[in-house]
Amino acid sequence: MAADESAPAAVVTAAEIARLAGVTRAAVSNWRRRHPDFPRPAVGTATSPLFALTEVQQWLDRQGKGRETSAEVDLWQELRAQYGDDLLTALGAVGAQLLGTAVVQPLAEPAAAALTVLSAERDAHALYADLVERCIASTARSGGEPMTTLALERIVSAFAGPGDNAAGTSDRTIGTVYDPACGIGTLLLSAAPGAHRYGQELNPATATITELRSRLGGTTATVARGDSLRKDLFPDLRADLVVCEPPVGVADWGRDVLLLDPRWELGVPPRSESELAWVQHCLAHTAPGGHALLVLPASVAYRKAGRRIRAELVRRGLLTSVVALPPGLASSHSLPMHLWILRRLAKGDPDPTNIRMIDLSTADPDAIGTKDGAPTPEQIADVPPIDILDDDVDLSPGRYVTPDHGDYPVEYSSLRDRIQRLAQDLLGLLPELPAGPGRIEAAPIGLGDLVRGGLVDVDGTVPTSRTDQLDTDYLRGFLRSAANTRRSTTASGTFRMNIGSAQLPQMDVARQREYGAAFRRLAAFEELLGEAAAVGGQASALAYDGLTKGALLPPATSTSSGRNESQEAQEQ
């Protein structure tokens, strides 16, 4: 593969900026919040940003904080030159060299030499952790393998930790940790120091990264390869702590072959609710007295299809808490997320009397999981199960937590600043598209032919490629054309994918990926537009509330008579 030519010549993570300036990462986070002229992220996501090195150096020089360029930046550019977007293979080669083990595709010069120099100067585990952080940001930008962000790692670890953490988890000793969809091991390896860890991962390359991170970090981890739902390789494991950020929106998760599976103690999950299959899988592996923490899309809390299973969670006292998180914390999408905390009662444990709802949906993502970002009493509501068990069984914390606007001017100003940042991000995501010839000169192929040929799966209105010769984003983008939309829209206005008539142009896979990249940016634009609409709604609601309560005043005018401009316009 070729290196990503659209990326800046050199970019740096927040951790590397901290080393350039000789400060902590917390200081860099403060600079970003307090200095309007601090460079905006060039690429990456809200929780894993990458900054243009030249802009950062210029800013540090102006502030008198600059040092020499990090050698890790040069190493990363060499890795991109050798491996392109195949960053998992690159990380595997780096980890193998740090451990002195063999690898199928070893590092080439000068990357190997650069790594040798760096590993002599720095702790191997810390160096590898920094490269993993960069990989998470890069793959999120390019639409690669979804990975748990470091922000989610911090949040899950904080709520899983001992003591009073506002979420109802206990301070009992944690001897075993399990993650059935462990990816590169971010959640599995961060929680409960000293515990033995068990993970299962479908992708062999990411499973290898987990093993390398475990060995470099000196932890004990057993990692199996395979699909945890279809083939559970730890059927007898009961862990003290289960952590998981499962795949989102998987249509074919194995329901047809798992209808009688004993893990479904709350009911067989609907085909469209793969996340509730993971919830029950995690619960089945939770030891008596243990906890399970799952990061899930917010929609799992209220979708109609999952209502019965949610009701059983509540009735049986298995749900301890739900934490609403801000959007943008996941690497693969910018949707709002929830953290569900489950508990398997041990013998003699009292039945829970309330479910704790914590609404951090508008909190600072950089603060959640830190001492300064602990939930306040106004963000917490202890809700009796009977109040949840209505027709909806809605587990969204925002439904039960009454927002408290203690400082209207500060909160309103913060929302306006956030809207301004979102507007800039939206403009950055919307691609510049040069003029085309007016039509695509390519023979069409029918979606039905692709489905019948076993090349495409369609779940409802969502098609997914089953071959590396057909790009999923290219497929989904062209199926949203005006012509295909008309073919799939009924007379009543309902959209149902018309597999028999939907068409798309035939292209080689390289050209497909070019279109797919553009469609991904448009999809990210749409998601961020939804977030902007939500923040705009918060700002307008706060403004109305503040103005009518007297906590906010109308903007000052420059007219000498004191009348506002609207009044003058009406009189003219």
Closest CA relative to residue 46, chosen from 373, 430, 531 = 531
Q: Please tell me the distance from the alpha carbon of residue 242 to that of residue 262, in angstroms, as a whole number.
A: 18
Contact 176, 239 (CB under 8 A): yes
- DSSP secondary structure letters along 434-448: ----SS--S-EEEHH
Higher pLDDT, 4 or 255: 255
**pLDDT tens by residue, 402-425:** 766 668 888 899 899 989 988 988
In this prediction, residue 490 carries a pLDDT of 62
What percent of the chain is predicted at pLDDT more than 70?
87
HSE of 82 in the Cβ direction (CA atoms, 13 Å)?
20
452, two tokens: 């019948």
Mean pLDDT (whole number) for 430-449? 89
Across 104-118, 310-324, 423-437, 548-562, the highest mean pLDDT is recorded for: 310-324
Higher pLDDT, 264 or 45: 264
In this prediction, residue 7 carries a pLDDT of 40
Mean pLDDT (whole number) for 23-47? 74
Mean pLDDT (whole number) for 292-296? 97
Omega of the bond leading into 110 within 30 degrees of 0 (cis) = yes
The phi and psi torsions of 83 (rounded to 5 degrees) equal -110, -10
Contact 406, 412 (CB under 8 A): no
Q: Please tell me the distance from the alpha carbon of residue 406 to that of residue 373, in angstroms, as a whole number.
A: 16
DSSP character at residue 334: -
Show the DSSP H helices in 405-481 as ranges. Answer: 408-429, 447-452, 472-478
Mean pLDDT (whole number) for 157-173? 68
In this prediction, residue 494 carries a pLDDT of 55
Band (pLDDT 50/70/90 cuts) for residue 8 is very low
Band (pLDDT 50/70/90 cuts) for residue 239 is very high
- Quick one: which H or E segment has residue 274? helix 274-284
Q: Please tell me the distance from the alpha carbon of residue 356 to that of residue 165, in angstroms, as a whole number.
A: 12
Band (pLDDT 50/70/90 cuts) for residue 212 is very high
324, two tokens: 């609403």
Q: Please tell me the distance from the alpha carbon of residue 207 to that of residue 344, in angstroms, as a whole number.
A: 28
Band (pLDDT 50/70/90 cuts) for residue 561 is very low
Report the Cα 79 to chain-centroid distance in Å.
25
* Mean pLDDT rounded to a whole number for the chain: 84
Residue 335, classed as helix, strand or coil, is coil
Q: Report pTM.
A: 0.66
Q: Please tell me the distance from the alpha carbon of residue 426 to that of residue 369, in angstroms, as a whole number.
A: 27
In this prediction, residue 3 carries a pLDDT of 39
In this prediction, residue 6 carries a pLDDT of 41
Q: Are strands 444-446 and 503-505 parallel, antiparallel or unpaired?
A: antiparallel
Band (pLDDT 50/70/90 cuts) for residue 52 is confident
Residue with tokens 């862990």: 239
| Single-letter amino acid code for the residue at 404 | D
77-to-52, 110, 147, 520, 563 alpha-carbon distances in Å: 13, 10, 21, 24, 61
Strand order in the sheet with 11-12: 11-12, 49-52, 43-44
Contact 124, 66 (CB under 8 A): no
Least confident among 60-64, 362-366, 523-527: 60-64
In this prediction, residue 94 carries a pLDDT of 92
**pLDDT tens by residue, 468-500:** 888 888 988 898 888 888 776 665 555 566 777
| Single-letter amino acid code for the residue at 473 | D
| Buried residues in 264-283 as b, exposed as e (16+ CB within 10 A) | bebebbbebbbbbbbbbbbb
Helix 14-21 / helix 124-142 crossing angle, nearest 10 deg: 130
In this prediction, residue 279 carries a pLDDT of 98
Band (pLDDT 50/70/90 cuts) for residue 310 is very high
Length of the chain: 572
**pLDDT tens by residue, 67-79:** 555 677 778 878 8
